[in-house]
Amino acid sequence: MLKKKYKRLLKAIVSSVAVAFFFTCLFTTIIYFTVLKDLSGYLNLFNGFTLSEPEDIESNPAKIDPITKAITHYPKYGDQYGTIEMPTIDIKVNLYLGDDMDILKLGAGQYAGSYFPSEGGTTLIAAHNRREYFKYLPKLNVGDNIIIDTVYGKFTYAVTDGKVETISELEKINIQHEEEVLVLYTCYPVDALGFTDKRYVIYAELVGASYES
């Protein structure tokens, strides 16, 4: 009788442990796929992504008329259409059209509502505050060159200003078609991890252009 009692008790314990183990595994799986996986991916935007290899962009037939500033065959959203280089801080980053989270994993992204380099207006470009991207923007000085090499030409800008702005201030930038203005920005402080409400912003003006024939 005592043996049967212990057997039933042992069976009940084993059953309880099995049920607890099952629900623990289930709970862990749910947490991973609904929270931790997204969080991990978000943190990787600032720490863990490997730079993408430059894509073959030479086959893109994009051209620009130096007089009318008209570009033929605009890049599609998400396309890499060039690189952006800052020699004084030893940075060269792939440049894409668009600035959503997926694009900014790959390099620098141009806000699709702004003008293309040498198109005669404001070009707005963002990148994460990683050392391979825009972390060292604050080290740029007035007069330093920024070179944007595209499928239709190479354009050199000179830094005119650099400052910290809030997101709301940045959103008030007038994207106009009166002069060539390049605006680069990244999260600030540049060593911050995750979302911040400030940006470090570089302003530059076009000082040189060479067009693909």
What is the per-residue pLDDT across 28-68, written as a single tens digit (0 to 9) for each?
444 434 433 343 333 333 333 333 333 444 445 567 777 77
> How many Cβ atoms sit within 10 Å of the Cβ of residue 50?
8
63-211 maps to which CATH number?
Answer: 2.40.260.10
In 45-190, beta strands by DSSP E: 63-64, 71-72, 80-86, 91-97, 108-110, 122-126, 145-150, 153-166, 181-188
Residue 192 CA to residue 213 CA, distance in Å, equals: 43
What is residue 198's predicted lDDT score, i.e. its pLDDT?
Answer: 92
pTM: 0.70
Which residue ranges make up each domain of the chain? 1-44, 63-211
